[in-house]
Structure 1
Amino acid sequence: MKLRKICKIIIYLFIITIAAILLIDRWISHKTSPYIYTSIDDLPKRSIGVVLGTAKYVRTGVLNQFYTYRIQGAIDLYQSYKVDHLLLSGDNALRSYNEPITMQRDLLKAKIPLSAIHLDFAGFRTLDSVIRANRVFDANEFTIITQEFHCERAIFIALSQGIQAQCYAVPSPSEMKMVRVREILARIGAFLDVYILNKEPKFLGPMLPIIQEDNLTEPSQKVESLSNNSSSAPAETSNR
């Protein structure tokens, strides 16, 4: 009898936990939807676009579509005069794995001028990328560039910090089931980071305003000293 009661309590706690997880997931989607755009024509202009990093290739060596869509989205926004500067924020775990440098190379190939490109080597997580864009690169109103599901988490973090960000949602690959599951868990982590743990970025450092760097040849190199401080492993998908 006692065992049955314990089992019931465990089942009830499990149901409550699952319900709470799903509720937080839906609440984040609802809270952030007014700040997410899928059409370039509808997207308000901002001086700075923040591209959230991911690996260019998955572990099998296949080109990562999450990466491809984000880079193309950044190119489209710049060429449509929706942003003047692109802040490339990502991980740089190894000398051979450097998300910001990889993104920069592909943008330069697309004829985006070096003067419009800025690198953040300490964007280890979405939280780091969003908060550093504000506190390190002095951007308060900016456009985040990533997939829609990722937009929701990024905007949620921005809103919690009083940052006036919006997001341009680029297309997602067709296979999204496992990514969606990981995203739900990532949102729970973001919720805990924001409301319980008061998580801060791994690195902050001195202020490096992007807008005041217009006349510098390579402004993004100011933060290159951070590129050797990372010990995290490369991500296979976008759900960092």
Structure 2
Amino acid sequence: MKFLKIILATAIVLCIVLVATDYWISHKAEGYLYSKVADIPKNKVGLLLGTSKYIATGGINPYYTYRIDAAVALFKAGKIDYILISGDNSHISYNEPDTFKKDLVKRGIPENKIVLDYAGFRTLDSVIRAKKVFGQYSMTIISQKFHNQRAIYIAKNFDIDAIAFNAKDVTNRYGLKTRLREYLARSKAFMDIVFNVGPKFLGEKIPIG
């Protein structure tokens, strides 16, 4: 019985920590998120956060589609001049930046306005590399709202003057699973900040524009 009480108490504490971290990161992002193209200030670079184009069942990932739509809308409205695509290219058969680039070009974005970051293995890497590798101290982050909140939290802790544009969200069961995983991702982001964790790779500087 004592062992079960310890397990229950531990579970309650973990739940409290997850909820508190989720609230704190959402709170810290307030005032930096935009959902209307007309309202968002202009930045030279939009940081488009990567994701897989396809879901496990083979269909198109709606998060991917909506991020493409958001990036195109911002560029065509003159709210960004360049799109920095940051995603995972950890092995030869999986290349988020190139996949995004191909679809952006199909949507009318000039190739010379697209910059690729192949070492955006996670959000922290993408945000910090945008500053330290690509020289961007201010930027517009492009993803869904829940993801933008975490990215803004990371950016502010690394002295990056970032705002974010919220791509359309996903509200079905697939979206619910993603949102539940976000609780864990936020706790990891909080701990990364506490322990000053940096990107997996940095490398030579790559200026934009």
TM range (shorter): over 0.9
The residue that corresponds to 2:88 in the other structure is 91
User: Offset of 1:144 from its aligned partner?
Assistant: 0.5
Contact 2:144-2:166 within 8 A present in 1 as well: yes
TM-score (norm 2): 0.95
Counterpart for residue 117 of structure 1: 114
Residue in 2 that maps onto 1:177: 176
Partner of 1:138: 135
> 1:206 maps to what in 2?
204
Shift of residue 34 of structure 1? 1.1
1:22-101 equivalence runs, <5 A: 22-101=19-98
State the SS of the aligned residue for 2:127: helix
Describe the SS at the equivalent of 1:118.
Answer: strand
- Alpha-carbon separation, structure 1, partners of 2:129 and 2:117: 8
Aligned residue-pair number: 207
- Give the partner amino acid of 2:31: P
Q: Is the radius of gyration larger for structure 1 or structure 2?
A: 1
CA RMSD, aligned part only? 1.3
Measure how far apart 1:95 and its partner are.
2.6
CA distance in 1, matches of 2:49, 2:35: 16
1:194 aligns with 2:187: no
Structure 2 counterparts to residues 4-19 of structure 1, below 5 A: 4=2, 7-19=4-16
Q: Which runs of 4+ in 1 moved over 6 A?
A: none
Return 8-17 or 125-134, whichever deviates more. 8-17
SS at 1:105 equivalent: helix
Query: What letter matches 2:108 in structure 1?
Result: K
Name the aligned partner's letter for residue 107 of structure 1.
Answer: L
Deviates more, 1:124-133 or 1:200-209: 200-209
CA contact (8 A) 2:33 2:164 kept: yes
Task: Please say which of residues 127-136 and 92-101 is displaced more in the overlay.
Answer: 92-101
Q: Is the 8 A contact 2:46 2:82 kept in 1?
A: yes
Contact 2:70 2:167 in 1 (8 A): yes
Aligned counterparts of 2:200 and 2:91: Cα–Cα separation in 1: 17
Amino acid at match of 1:195: V
Corresponding residue for 1:224?
none
Structure 2: gaps of 5 or more residues: none
Query: For the residues of structure 1 that align with 2:125 and 2:87, how far apart are their CA atoms?
Result: 9
What is the TM-score normalised by the length of structure 1? 0.83
Please, which moves more after superposition, 9-18 or 165-174? Answer: 9-18
Query: Structure 1 residue 106 and structure 2 residue 118: aligned?
Result: no
- Aligned mates of 2:208, 2:192 — CA distance in 1: 27
Percent identity over the alignment is 46
